[in-house]
Amino acid sequence: MTSTNYPHLAELGWNDFFENQLDDERPAENAIVRVCSVHSMVLFVMGAEGKRQLAIPGNWLSSDPEDRPTVGDWLILDETGQWPVRILKRQTLVTRRAPSDITSVQLVAANLDTLFIVTSLNDDFNLSRLERYLAIAYEYGVTPVVVLSKRDLVTAEHAEDCAAQVRALHDGLDVVVVNALTIDTVNALFPWVEKGMTATLVGSSGVGKSTLVNTLSGEERTPTGAIRDSDSKGRHTTSSRTLYTLPNGGLIMDVPGFRELRLPSCEHGIAKVFADIIEIGLHCGFTDCLHDGEPDCAVEKAVEEGRITRRRVENYRKLLKEQAAQDDEKQQAKIYARQRRVADRVAGKTSGKKQRRRR
């Protein structure tokens, strides 16, 4: 439900979730702004009176990453309208592991509704990479939509075959096939970035994220990179995170940091993507089966019977290994056990089979 107290803000994504945090405090509409981009000392924000620049308060610069503003945040300003004094609780928050230190977290984007996961139908097409991004979307409660680009460069059969493989990754997963260069097919993305909704695009370099933003905008918003013919890899042409308003009133965030694919803590998202494997795993002989050659492994049996692909099982194991990162095998087994508990809670299922511990 959209608030009526701040009509201009509703167009920028404001809703009751944020309004309910104001309690008795009723700031003027121009004292509430949304962050469009963050630089080392300043923020660009948009609000009822358009776009402007604000200095970041000194005490915010030294606070924990989660207490610092990120793109998409809603801020309350002081009575002078010059200084942000409060970051409203985020409806969704996407984080990633810092490139330099895997134990610390960086904020990627706040208050997203939709994650457009872009992959091209030619060289970039890779189901395991899509599963990675799906885990992020499910972990953070952002709706994923897989966008298969470069439709014009492949045959109709190839496009349909790829789309079918992607749809099979998860029940109800939305998949849209586009030629990112023209609005005819890109139009199909608007239901996920309607007026007041916020979306972002993720995917490898060169798959067409900037091209999609430009086509959705009806103008050149972000530079697109020329592809090197030999390897179909684009140059990294986008370097800072920015929130744009589209002509239809939707909001789109360009987030280059997502390309590095360092998964943050994502166990619930992974459990949701691979719920089928977890369910089959409830029938393995060992409660702590890693589906890696153990005897009486139900997952291995399902692979042999063609009920599940080996690629998918291997990707599941790989993502969980990443989650367990530097931990030993015991730690990994704990994660598998937690996955089973998540599956039980989500589906209310147990196999009924009596399982024993390996160690």
Ligand X SMILES: Nc1nc2c(ncn2[C@@H]2O[C@H](COP(=O)(O)OP(=O)(O)OP(=O)(O)O)[C@@H](O)[C@H]2O)c(=O)[nH]1
Binding residues for GTP: 149-152, 203-211
Q: Which helix (H) or strand (E) holds 238?
A: none
Q: In the window 257-286, what residues touch Zn ion (CB under 5 A)?
A: 284
**Number of residues forming the site for Zn ion (CB under 5 A):** 5
| Residue 259 C-beta: closest distance to Zn ion, Å | 33
Tokens 């709706």 label which residue? 143
Selected binder of ligand X within 143, 165, 205, 217 (CB under 6 A): 205
Selected binder of ligand X within 2, 30, 128, 237 (CB under 6 A): 237
Stretch that binds ligand X, among 63-71, 89-97, 232-240, 300-308 (CB under 6 A): 232-240
From Zn ion, ligand X, none, which one binds at residue 84 (CB under 5 to 8 Å depending on kind)?
none
| Residue 235 C-beta: closest distance to ligand X, Å | 6
Non-local CB neighbours of 167 within 8 Å, separated by 6+ positions: 173, 175
Q: In the window 315-334, what residues touch ligand X (CB under 6 A)?
A: none
From Zn ion, ligand X, none, which one binds at residue 107 (CB under 5 to 8 Å depending on kind)?
none
Q: Which is nearer to Zn ion, 29 or 294 (CB)?
A: 294
Which two tokens mark 195?
């007026």
Stretch that binds ligand X, among 129-137, 234-242, 266-274, 302-310 (CB under 6 A): 234-242
Radius of gyration of the chain (CA): 22
Annotated binding site for Zn(2+): 284, 289, 291, 297
Which two tokens mark 322?
């990443």
Non-local CB neighbours of 185 within 8 Å, separated by 6+ positions: 151, 176, 177, 178, 179
CA separation for the pair 120, 109 (Å, rounded)? 24
From ligand X, Zn ion, none, which one binds at residue 35 (CB under 5 to 8 Å depending on kind)?
none
Which two tokens mark 149?
């680009």
The DSSP output letter for 280 is H
| Residue 122 C-beta: closest distance to ligand X, Å | 9
Q: Which is nearer to ligand X, 238 or 355 (CB)?
A: 238
The DSSP output letter for 327 is -
Type of residue at 178:
V
The alpha helices in the chain, defined as continuous H runs, are: 7-10, 16-19, 58-61, 127-140, 156-167, 183-186, 209-217, 267-273, 275-281, 298-304, 310-324, 329-347
Q: In the window 88-147, what residues touch ligand X (CB under 6 A)?
A: none
| Residue 161 C-beta: closest distance to ligand X, Å | 17
Our finding on whether 22 is near ligand X (CB under 6 A) is no
CA separation for the pair 86, 17 (Å, rounded)? 15
From Zn ion, ligand X, none, which one binds at residue 297 (CB under 5 to 8 Å depending on kind)?
Zn ion
Our finding on whether 215 is near ligand X (CB under 6 A) is no
Q: What is the dihedral of CA 334, 338, 343, 349, to 10 degrees?
A: 80
From Zn ion, ligand X, none, which one binds at residue 224 (CB under 5 to 8 Å depending on kind)?
ligand X
Our finding on whether 206 is near ligand X (CB under 6 A) is yes
Q: Which is nearer to Zn ion, 90 or 291 (CB)?
A: 291
| Residue 320 C-beta: closest distance to Zn ion, Å | 13
From Zn ion, ligand X, none, which one binds at residue 289 (CB under 5 to 8 Å depending on kind)?
Zn ion
From the list 16, 201, 195, 236, the residue with the least C-alpha distance to 94 is 201
* Contact in structure between 12 and 47 (CB atoms under 8 Å): yes
DSSP-assigned beta bridge partners for residue 144: 115
Site for ligand X, rule CB under 6 A: 149-150, 152-153, 179-181, 203, 205-211, 224-227, 234-238, 259
